Chain A
Amino acid sequence: MDLTLRVWRQKDGQSTGTLETYQISGIIPDMSFLEMLDVTNERLIEEGKDPIAFDHDCREGICGACSLVINGRAHGGFSGTTTCQLHMRKFNDGDTITVEPWRATAFPVLKDLVVDRTSFDRIIQAGGFISANTGGAPDGNAVPIPKPDADAAMDAAACIGCGACAASCPNGSAMLFVAAKVSHLAHLPQGMPERGQRVLSMVAKMDEEGFGNCTNHAECEAMCPKDISISHIAKMNREFIRATVRGE
């Protein structure tokens, strides 16, 4: 496959970046999007140029490191697919592909396509944890959990914290991510001790980090590589109302 790439290049957080155009040939349709970038980078290095910086780790759709906006859609916008699991056969020979970093105030660009997502870590630190006692591990089956709750918690726990929700939201809102974490723990007995304080603290942190807020377009749900449903945002809203009414 022969492709024209338009890639965001930015030296560091202080510089202003620009879209650079690269012609790339000999791409095999079975390559992943990241392998295509690897090939591009090898050629750039051979030409003595600076390779394109991009985030990646597991390359199997579970770590949440890869984070590219491809042709205006986070992770390319293919249902249930992270950038690392996106194959070049989804594109056509001769295509022009535009690649940009996540764009959000709370995700500043570090270099090229790499953004700083520690704002998500700080939201987790604000409340995305449970208290656990030390001592012998309790029997996993000792705590009964209704099947629908276990299923809902499991669905929410599939969130890999990639940030595609905030990147794709027209408002730069991270509510799908925060909701997945809040909903996951609010469905389980282990999450009960911090239940009210968790949602209030995480939402306050989310606001403080400079994320936007939901106007119910559901763009995040369509772009989320783990198909997290916006029903979790409704759950987070219920948790917020509950904690507020209880005066927590």
Chain B
Amino acid sequence: MGRFAKVLQSSIGAKVAMAVTGILLVLFIIAHMLGNLLMFAGPEATNAYAKGLKDLGALLWVARIGLLVVFLVHIGSALRLWRMNQAARPQAYAVSESTMVTYAGRSIVLTGLLVLAFAAYHLLHFTLFATNPEFAQLHDAQGRHDVYRMVILGFRNTAVSGVYLVSMILLGLHLSHGVTSLFQSLGINNPSYNPLIKRLGPWSGVLVAAGFMAIPLAVLAGVLK
């Protein structure tokens, strides 16, 4: 068994792997959100940014495969730890009174899996155009893929916007427990900055959700057109 696989076998090893992959996923999410917010800077900024990403070529594929591996380690560890936890208490209490457990904390596996389902749909929608083949035909005056128009047209469909809005709330809930949690998993716990760490999770959840939700909301409100 390789060193890495052996560490992942241990509960704490898997927790540390979840925290490290969690940080990488959060960094990806923040970068993705900032890129999306270029929609507010107009079609030129958005389409140029999208072209810039596509032009990375081989580098883009390295990033995509890296992200996939990170996702798989995060989800694989999550599901293994979750199974261990389910098996650790086969008989439930007749009366159970938790005092500390939050909604975001209790539902972290569920929100994670729903975010995963959303990610699959999102790729089929805006990356592979499987749901809307006409998106592939959109080009701007410079002949670039017109990502700006695609997003506007995509979000004018209220059902589609609804899926995005709900999913971003779920992602926000996930981060609100996850981001605070990752510090403890990495052994970072100190009275002088614990109050900050406690707030970092909920705040990052709110900011990430708000940043992503701004775009479908702006399209529905007619601010972006």
Contact = CB atoms under 8 A, between A and B. Distances in A.
Interface of A: 6, 8, 19, 69, 71-73, 77, 98, 100, 103-106, 168, 170-173, 200, 203-204, 206-207, 210-219, 221-223, 230-231, 233-238, 240-241, 244, 247
Nearest to A199: B12
A221 B91 CA distance: 22
Contacts of B185: 214, 216, 237
Interface of B: 3, 7, 10-16, 81, 84-85, 87-102, 105-106, 108, 177, 180-181, 184-191
B12 A77 contact: no
A222 B93 contact: no
Nearest to A229: B189
When A and B form their complex, which 6 residue pairs have the shortest distance between CB atoms, in order from nearest?
A172-B88, A238-B187, A72-B97, A234-B189, A212-B88, A171-B85
Contacts of B84: 207, 212-213
28 contacts: A19-B94, A71-B95, A71-B97, A72-B97, A98-B95, A100-B93, A100-B94, A168-B98, A170-B85, A170-B106, A171-B85, A171-B89, A203-B11, A204-B10, A206-B11, A213-B81, A214-B184, A215-B85, A217-B100, A217-B102, A217-B106, A219-B101, A233-B189, A235-B189, A237-B12, A240-B10, A241-B16, A247-B3
A200 B87 CA distance: 22
Contact of B187 (A77, A105, A241): A241
A213 B77 CA distance: 12
Contacts of A218: 100
Contacts of A104: 88-89
B100 A214 contact: no
A179 to B, nearest CB: 10
A237 B16 contact: yes
Contacts of A69: 93, 95
Contacts of B181: 215-216
Nearest to B189: A234
Given A100-B95, A172-B85, A216-B185, A237 B101 contact: no
Given A72-B96, A207-B11, A231-B189, A217 B91 contact: no
A156 to B, nearest CB: 14
A211 B99 CA distance: 21
A173 B7 contact: no
B87 A210 contact: yes
Contacts of B87: 105, 210, 212
Contact of B186 (A103, A204, A241): A241
A105 B99 contact: no
A54 B188 CA distance: 39
A214 B187 CA distance: 12
Given A98-B95, A171-B88, A215 B186 contact: no
Nearest to A207: B11
Contacts of A6: 94
B7 A213 contact: no
Nearest to B91: A103
A57 to B, nearest CB: 24
Given A238-B187, A244-B7, A216 B95 contact: no
A94 B51 CA distance: 73
Contacts of B191: 231
Given A200-B10, A216-B180, 11 more contacts: A69-B93, A72-B96, A73-B97, A77-B97, A207-B10, A213-B14, A214-B185, A217-B106, A218-B100, A236-B187, A238-B187
B72 to A, nearest CB: 20
Contacts of A221: 100
Contacts of B100: 217-219, 221-222
